[in-house]
Amino acid sequence: MIVFGIILLAAVLRFTSLDNLPPSLTWDEAAWGYNAYSLGINLRDEFGRFLPLTYLESFGDFKPPLYAYLSILPIKLFGLSPFATRFASAFFGVLTVVIAYFLTKQLFKTWDHVSSQVSSQVALLSAGILAISPWHILLSRAAFEANVATFFIVLGVLLFLKATSRGVVSSTPPRWNGFDTSVLCLSILSFVLSMYTFNSARVVVPLLLFGLIIGKRKELLKMKKQFLISILFGLFIFSPLFLFLQTPQAKLRFAEVNIFSDIEVVERVNMQIENDNNAWWSKIIHNRRLAYGVEYLRHYFDNLSPNFLFIKGDGNPKFSIQDVGQLYLFEIPFFIAGAFLLFRKKEGDWWIIPYWMLISIIPAATARETPHALRIESALPTFQILTAYGIHHLVSTISKIQIKYLIFYLYTFFLIFNFLYFTHNYFSHYSKEFSHEWQYGYKDAISYVRQVEDQYDRIYFTESLGRPYIYFLFYTQYDPVKFGEEVSATREVLGFVHIENFDKYYFAKDLQELPKQGKILFIDTPNKVPDGFKIEKTFHLLNGERALIAYTL
């Protein structure tokens, strides 16, 4: 009953006005939507690749493709709209809450009877906190493939634990068991699917699986056959991705964002060695590998900074509303208590939680932009489980104190206030404040273009807001086959795809450089509109500032 309530709450928080909150689509979302739309029509992506298995070229960022496949059905059902594009993320977000419940229950399940009550209480709390988590809600409400990858990881862990705990609980000697094999295979399948969904998962999942196998080695030794079959199955479905990962395209994106290409570090250690008059020992203590190691730690610790976790959240407003942290303030004492008590009590498979949390940050810390709520999302729901564990044990301690009800009510009040503070800021102010971050303005501008395009020979559209072509495809539901025939595109050195034109639409950073032939409608950002042009229409952000201006000669 409570579980059902929690699921309902999670769904309400994830689906309410999903179409216009976040207020508009990012280019990645538009790309997911349109690629899914395209796949749904002729099983080809926007550039005409048939059933892409390992990547979508998209803007040249080589997206792992699964999110597009998952969106085919919702887009068939609801039509090509923001809601349909975001549906998969929100839907799997709700499912993650459900799975988090069963996972926590499984984690703290031990042999004695008392603990089963404990584990279901902690499980309820974990699911409840995840349901209202600002971190998880925000990432579930936009087409972020990371959110789906998180679902697959959580499911993978749950199935893995289910499969490995059965052999131990049953007193009968372990023997060939088709059920165990299929559960273990499903777990591996789920893990591999997450790697087909999000880049970070490609590092996190192997590490996580490695830890799980080491931790459960005794159980796995009792089910050698099942284990072997699952591993072979996993390798089989992983192999296409593995082959792709060996290609230069796959490595490009990593090289672009990682910290180890930062030349400043080398310059600094060289200067410091010089300050030591090039002494041999100075070359040891100012070794550049060491300096990079410390840089890595700095980026790693960024993801654990209190300000990021509890006060302001990710600096990018797409991942945090800037008013609450990735976690709620009220969680602080429980989170800390939970962490210490987990090590103290060592209940069930407790060790998975810290291990999982810490390895989830490993890939994100190699990038320059840290902390990064999206890239470390695979750490969910470990934060929530720790908090839940802390709440459970602290509440049972406090019940011994006389003024327990006072403390209890005050704290509940604080908790509710935290929740209202978040939901109020998100549902009432967020759109208005941050519509710019969500590339607001494209939709209005494009629907205006659609109305008036018959009067013009060409439409010149600015690239200043980023990748306008995908919004044209998305909002006009452009026929993918026709797009494939008309498009003229160039591919840059770093692999980025640049669409110059299709149909009568032309895209450029500087519109004045394009040839002025025939009757042209220009659409540009306000600061780039030259004097002496006739302004036809202005498109505003939700806070009243101007986003785009349509003008003619």
Partner 1 sequence: MSKKYYILILVIILGVILRLYKIGEVPPSPDWDEVSLGYNAYSILQTGRDEYGEFLPIVLRSFDDYKPALYTYLIIPFIKILGLNVIAVRLPSVVFGVIAVITTYLLVNELFKRSNIALLTSFLVSISPWHIQFSRIAFESNVGLSLNLLVTLFFIKGLKNPKLLPISFILGALNLHMYQSNRVFTPLLLLVLSIIFKKEIWKNIKWYGISIFLAFILAIPLLFYILSNQNALLRAKGVSVFSDQTEFLKRNTNKLENDLKNNDYLGMVIDNRRFEYAKSIVSGYISHFNLNWLFISGDIARHHAPNMGLLYLIELPFIFIGIYGLLFGQYEKRTKLTVFAIFLLAPIPASITKDVPHAVRALNFLPTLQVFVALGIIQTFQFVSNIKYQPRFNRGQALNIKIKYLIFFMYISFFIFNILYYLNQYFVQYPIENSMDWQYGYKEAVSEVEKIEPMYEKIVVSNMPHLDQSYMFFLFYLKYPPNLYQTDAKNASGGFRENHIFGKFEFRPIEWNKEIRGRSVLYVGKSSDFLEDARNIKTIRFLNNETAIKIVEK
Cα separation values, 216 from 107, 165, 171, 508, Å: 13, 9, 18, 56
Stretch that binds partner 1, among 22-30, 135-143, 268-276, 361-369 (CB under 8 A): 268-276
CA distance linking residue 413 with residue 353, whole number of Å: 29
By CB under 8 A, tell whether 297 contacts partner 1. yes
By CB under 8 A, tell whether 272 contacts partner 1. yes
Stretch that binds partner 1, among 85-93, 248-256, 304-312, 474-482 (CB under 8 A): 304-312
Residue 310 DSSP label? I
CA distance linking residue 52 with residue 44, whole number of Å: 7
By CB under 8 A, tell whether 78 contacts partner 1. no
Q: How far is the CB of 330 from partner 1 (least distance, A)?
A: 11
Cα separation values, 70 from 20, 37, 63, 116, Å: 21, 11, 14, 36
Within 10 Å of residue 298's Cβ, how many Cβ atoms?
Answer: 12
Q: Which is nearer to partner 1, 145 or 433 (CB)?
A: 433
Q: How far is the CB of 337 from partner 1 (least distance, A)?
A: 10
Stretch that binds partner 1, among 87-95, 189-197, 272-280, 435-443 (CB under 8 A): 272-280
By CB under 8 A, tell whether 61 contacts partner 1. no
Q: DSSP strand E in 117-252: where?
A: none
Footprint (CB under 8 A) of partner 1, residues 403-442:
417, 420-421, 424-425, 428-429, 432-433
Which of 9, 311, 358, 398 binds partner 1 (CB under 8 A)? It is 311
Return the H-helix or E-strand segment holding 550: strand 546-552
By CB under 8 A, tell whether 270 contacts partner 1. no
Which of 31, 70, 291, 357 binds partner 1 (CB under 8 A)? It is 291
Alpha helices in 246-380 (DSSP H): 248-257, 263-275, 280-285, 288-302, 306, 331-345, 352-360
By CB under 8 A, tell whether 259 contacts partner 1. no
By CB under 8 A, tell whether 307 contacts partner 1. yes
Tokens for 375, please give them: 């890239």
Q: Which is nearer to partner 1, 232 or 420 (CB)?
A: 420
CA distance linking residue 123 with residue 103, whole number of Å: 8
Which of 343, 405, 413, 414 binds partner 1 (CB under 8 A)? It is 343
Backbone angles phi, psi at 273, to 5 degrees: -65, -40
Binding mask 344-363 for partner 1 (x = CB under 8 A): x-------------------
Cα separation values, 353 from 79, 130, 257, 342, 387, Å: 40, 15, 28, 9, 12
Positions touching partner 1 (CB under 8 A) are: 268, 272, 275-276, 282, 285, 291, 294, 297-298, 301-302, 304-307, 310-312, 329, 332, 340, 343-344, 417, 420-421, 424-425, 428-429, 432-433
